[in-house]
Structure 1
């Protein structure tokens, strides 16, 4: 009889975690994940990126199952190229939240991820994409951001740090939206109550698995709910201090195969 798996569900963030600075996973990471999946574990991408921006990476990973996208607002099935579940952020609510934030900190620059498997990322004048490799469409006026249903709003401030902007947004947004920080230059508003944990829990349920089965890897504060839900949370060496503070362990950086280091220990090659 085969030995039981250390964890049956491996949940990995993408940016700053599985992906290196050039937006690619290392050969070692790919090989280790493939070996762990062959041993019977399920690998689940859990990312802030919307489904259309995840699809090409799933092809690289050879993933044909589920992926949690949009900070937990989307459950995407790569096999059928469809969303099994999605939650949108009410556009009037998003406008109201933006108004409250700007009343507190002055002008911010905004972008939105549209809902759906073919949704676009729209950016208003002044907004700079934190990941210049990701496709986006620049609009001329903010009101054009609300032309179709959205899964989230992305914010940048010309002077405030990400931590300062996130704190200010949380202080005024209240129950209008959930405020997250998912990477450098990436403060976001998403549907209230939606986090990576809600998406991960739903995906795990679809797979017949639970929180005791889950090992999670991440690098930013938006991964905190996922760490609190999973049985074991591993922060990268390059992780934000807030995530390291709640992690069960810290591995090496995303540039140094931090995920593979842990998985090779927990799933030794036999």
Structure 2
């Protein structure tokens, strides 16, 4: 009889975790994921990127299954190219939250991810994409950001560090939205109560799996709810100190195939 799997569900963040800095996946990581899949484990991408920005990567991986996108606001079925579930951020609440933040810290620059499998990323004048390889459409003024339903708002400040901006945003936004930090230069407003853990839990139920079946990999504070939910949380060597503080294990960096290091140990 085959030995039971150490973990039947492998949940991985993308940026700073599974992907290298140039947005590519190493051959070693591909092989490690393929070996885990051959052993019966499921790989689930759990990312802050919206579904349209994840689709090309899933195609490259040959994935036809589920992916958790938009910080947990979207559950995407790659095989059917449709959202099984999505939650939008009320645009009036988003505008109000931005106003409260700017009253405290001065002007910020904003972008939005539109809802839907073909939603665009819109950026207002002055906003610089933290990942220049990801497509975005520049609009003429902030009001243009609210033309269609959105899943989240991305914020950048010309001077404040991300931690300070996120902390101030949390202190003034209140119940208007949830605030998270998902990467360098990426502070986000998302629907209240929505986290990577809510999306991961929903995906796991679809797959008939539980927290005890799950190992999760990440690098930023937005991965903390996912670590709290999963049986085992693995932070990358390059991870934010807040995530390392709650991780069960710290592996090598994303540039040094940290996910593969762990998977090779578990699925040898």
Is 1:89 the counterpart of 2:121? The answer is: no
State the partner residue of 2:212: 212
Deviation, structure 1 residue 62: 1.4
Deviations 1:205-249 (A, max 9, x none): 000001000000000000000000000000000000000000000
Q: TM-score, length-normalised on structure 1?
A: 0.99
State the partner residue of 2:72: 72
Q: TM-score, length-normalised on structure 2?
A: 1.00
Rounded to whole Å, the distance in 2 between the matches of 1:172 and 1:25 is 38
State the partner residue of 1:145: 145
| Structure 2 counterparts to residues 98-137 of structure 1, below 5 A | 98-137=98-137
Rounded to whole Å, the distance in 1 between the matches of 2:2 and 2:72 is 33
Rounded to whole Å, the distance in 1 between the matches of 2:118 and 2:56 is 13
RMSD: 0.4
Deviation, structure 1 residue 60: 1.3
SS in 2 for 1:15: helix
Which consecutive aligned stretches of 4+ in structure 1 deviate over 3 angstroms post-superposition?
Answer: none
Rounded to whole Å, the distance in 1 between the matches of 2:4 and 2:60 is 28
Deviations 1:43-64 (A, max 9, x none): 0000000000000000111111
Deviations 1:90-116 (A, max 9, x none): 000000000000001100000000000
Deviation, structure 1 residue 188: 0.2
State the partner residue of 1:230: 230
| Structure 2 counterparts to residues 1-270 of structure 1, below 5 A | 1-268=1-268
Point out where structure 1 has 5 or more consecutive residues left out of the alignment.
none
Rounded to whole Å, the distance in 2 between the matches of 1:125 and 1:165 is 19
Point out where structure 2 has 5 or more consecutive residues left out of the alignment.
none
Aligned residues: 268
SS in 1 for 2:155: strand
Rounded to whole Å, the distance in 2 between the matches of 1:167 and 1:87 is 24
SS in 1 for 2:16: coil
SS in 1 for 2:14: coil
SS in 1 for 2:53: helix
Rounded to whole Å, the distance in 2 between the matches of 1:8 and 1:126 is 44
Deviation, structure 1 residue 266: 1.0
SS in 2 for 1:31: helix
Rounded to whole Å, the distance in 2 between the matches of 1:227 and 1:17 is 14
Deviations 1:28-75 (A, max 9, x none): 000110110111000000000000000000011111100000000000
